[in-house]
Amino acid sequence: MTGVKFLLFSLLILMSGTSLIDTYAIAKIATPIDHLIIIYQENVSFDHYFGTYPNAVNPPGEPSFSQLPNTPSVNGLSGTLLTYNPNLVNPFRIPRSQTSTCDNDHEYSRLQEAYNGGIMDKFVQSNKQISKGCDPIITMGYFDGNTVTALWNYAQHYAMSDSFFGSIFGPSTPGHINLVSGQTHGVEPTNVEKLSHGSVINVIVNGTMISDPNPLYDDCFNPATKSYPLVSLAGTNVGDLLNRANVTWGWFQGGFKPTNWTANRTPICGSTHGSYENASLFDYLPHHEPFQFYKTTANPHHLAPTSVHMIGSNDQANHQYDLIDFWDAAELGNLPAVSFLKAAAFQDGHAGYSNPLDEQTFLVETINRLQNLPEWNHTAVIIAYDDSDGWYDHVMPPIVSQSDDPENDRLLGLGLCGKPAPDRYDDRCGYGPRLPFLVISPFAKINYVDHQIIDQASILRFIEDNWNLGQIGDQSFDSIAGPILNLFDFTSGHYAEKVLVDPFNGTVLW
């Protein structure tokens, strides 16, 4: 760039209110997206939320949903899948009045059993670690546009995928780790078990995470998961890559901010909303905070940022924050380039202690607020999920990562999820279940459904590619992850308009 051009470019940037430092970072990105916000929710299969999209029942007394003209179809529940399903019961619609449901069995081995080599007929029988008093047939239940109304309306006005898969079978923590590193191997200690619903569950096997532990580098705990074993992860995560490239970022989670400290200054993350199993429901769940498993990116003592101006940059908080910090930074014009948002437990959508309506409130209030920021014109929001919770989905995922653990792999029979190459890490059978995935952005294609195969590591891959970070290596799924670029339109000049939604009923305000 010549001196004159640089001065003109600098003048334009200064007039826009963007700093030259920020602009230099922007100049190195691969797309017009200079702010990416990933809202990572809990435990929903694609069919559980979008199986009958875009057709809702619209009963009296529930929010009504009507599809826009030329709405594309999805690979959903239709025909015999609804009326003559291979499972013990047919899929059934859960009404809006019954959104609080039981939590299903979604452990690594049990989910493989449910998929039964692609026959997809063992979802009820494999639903064994369900809460006491719950009927295993609940796994076949689904919601439609009268309950998850906001998500259906976002799909109408922006882009979504019906081919987004968990990187592996299993529950929440592996799904979070695959988001930030694509690599669930490299855990210490290498073999760990836990007790769940009276049964012993393998958590770490052969150095690979297949269930939910707690992070070693976290002084806070949640009473509901205090018995989970403590583990750490070696290797590299996307936070390390962003730090090396001097790109601002942060993980922002509800309840991360301590409410008190013990006598020896151990933080207590005691904020609560509601109750679960007759006990207070704590907002913060440590096993949903992936960066706390890595020493390089952890904030064990939950230290606050030294100032709002330092949010997203290197200081004592080490990029790990409360959701409050995200909005403090946003309102000051200090929005990080990459932000991961994690709702407080009561709003994360997890069956058993959250529900779709509380989740909808969080999603809508967050997105409405983001759309009013001056940075919105170059922002993309991704709504994605960590695992399926064992909810029925009729699509068999492509198995791109084989595993033959004789005890824990069961997709094709005991000990079988294909045959891995001799040098491949075991216990990463995947892809796993199909999950919802939406892109909300001025650059999102409008009323568009993408069918290309992507997985949780595709989000990681987009961050790597957009900010020219390089890749994780060491058999990370980022090396094989499909691109999410087809959900965007960066060339036509047609931009998706802002869509403000009612947080209670999910209907479009304007």
Per-residue pLDDT of the chain (510 residues; tens, 9 = 90+): 333 333 333 344 444 444 333 443 444 899 999 999 999 999 999 999 999 999 999 999 999 999 999 999 999 999 999 999 999 999 999 999 999 999 999 999 999 999 999 999 999 999 998 888 899 999 999 999 999 999 999 999 999 999 999 999 999 999 999 999 999 999 999 999 998 877 899 999 999 999 999 999 999 999 999 999 999 999 999 999 999 999 999 999 999 999 999 999 899 999 999 888 778 999 999 999 999 999 999 999 999 999 999 999 999 999 999 999 999 999 999 999 999 999 999 999 999 999 999 999 999 999 999 999 999 999 999 999 999 999 999 999 999 999 999 999 999 999 999 999 999 999 999 999 999 999 999 999 999 999 999 999 999 999 999 999 999 999 999 999 999 999 999 999 999 999 999 999 999 998
How far apart (Å, rounded) are the C-alpha atoms in residues 18 and 15? 8
471 close to 182: Cβ distance less than 8 angstroms: no
Structure tokens at 168: 């592996």
- DSSP, collapsed to helix, strand or coil, labels residue 33 as coil
Q: What is the pLDDT of residue 131?
A: 80
- DSSP, collapsed to helix, strand or coil, labels residue 221 as coil
Tell which residue, 112, 50, 48, 49, has the closest CA to residue 75: 50
From the candidate CATH numbers 3.40.720.10, 3.40.190.10, 3.40.630.30, 3.40.50.410, the one assigned to the domain spanning 31-487: 3.40.720.10
401 Cα distance to chain centroid: 20
Q: What is the pLDDT of residue 3?
A: 38
How far apart (Å, rounded) are the C-alpha atoms in residues 105 and 118? 19
- DSSP, collapsed to helix, strand or coil, labels residue 127 as coil
Which residue type does 339 have? S
Q: What is the pLDDT of residue 279?
A: 85
Q: What is the pLDDT of residue 13?
A: 41
Query: If 0-12 CB within 10 Å is exposed, 13-18 middle and 19+ buried, where does residue 16 land?
Result: exposed
How far apart (Å, rounded) are the C-alpha atoms in residues 448 and 367? 19
Structure tokens at 164: 């987004």
Q: What is the pLDDT of residue 166?
A: 98
How far apart (Å, rounded) are the C-alpha atoms in residues 88 and 71? 32
- DSSP, collapsed to helix, strand or coil, labels residue 43 as coil
Structure tokens at 135: 């009927």
Q: What is the pLDDT of residue 198?
A: 76
Structure tokens at 328: 């403090």
Determine phi and psi for 443, rounding to 5 degrees.
Answer: -95, 0
Strands (DSSP E) contained in 187-259 are: 187-188, 192-196, 199-205, 208-209, 214-215, 230-233, 249-253
What are the Cα distances from residue 360, in Å, to 153, 157, 217, 368, 398? 12, 17, 31, 12, 30
Residue 258, preceding peptide bond in cis (omega within 30° of 0)? no
Structure tokens at 48: 């559980």
16 close to 374: Cβ distance less than 8 angstroms: no
How far apart (Å, rounded) are the C-alpha atoms in residues 375 and 335? 8
Structure tokens at 75: 């690979």
501 close to 154: Cβ distance less than 8 angstroms: yes
Strands (DSSP E) contained in 72-212 are: 92-93, 141-142, 159-165, 187-188, 192-196, 199-205, 208-209
Q: State the Cα angle at 262 between 220 and 194, rounded to 5°.
A: 35
Residue 25: left if φ>0, alpha if ψ -120 to 50, beta else—which one? alpha
Structure tokens at 450: 């993408």
Which residue type does 139 have? T
How far apart (Å, rounded) are the C-alpha atoms in residues 90 and 104? 17
How far apart (Å, rounded) are the C-alpha atoms in residues 49 and 56? 11
- DSSP, collapsed to helix, strand or coil, labels residue 165 as strand
Q: What is the pLDDT of residue 14?
A: 43
Residue 431, preceding peptide bond in cis (omega within 30° of 0)? yes
